[in-house]
Amino acid sequence: MTDTVAESPVEFKQGDRVVRKDGEGCRGEVITVRTEVTSSTGSNDERGLLINVQWDNGTYSYFTPGSLELVS
């Protein structure tokens, strides 16, 4: 069995500062980057990346890499 992982156009790493691409909400910091099963067929072969973000307001969220962007 070979796992396939969706590639991110931007490599996120722990400690990166991010915002949501839609521009709503506060800034946050990447806590972890992990893979999750994303298959709708029940197969464990399809995996996608999830980014765990701790926002400046104290909340935590999971996002796909395509919905976040790096900030300086």
Return the higher-pLDDT residue of 63 and 72.
Answer: 63
Average pLDDT of the chain is 82
What does pTM read for this prediction?
A: 0.72
24-44 pLDDT per residue, tens = 889 999 999 988 776 666 666
Distance CA 18, CA 44 (A): 29
Give the best-scoring range by mean pLDDT among 1-15, 26-40, 56-70.
56-70
Model confidence at 48: pLDDT above 70: yes
In 38-54, which positions are buried (b, 16+ CB within 10 angstroms) versus exposed (e)? Answer: eeeeeeeeebbbbbbbe
Binning pLDDT at 50, 70 and 90, where does residue 68 land?
very high
Fold of the domain spanning 4-70: Thrombin, subunit H (2.40.10)
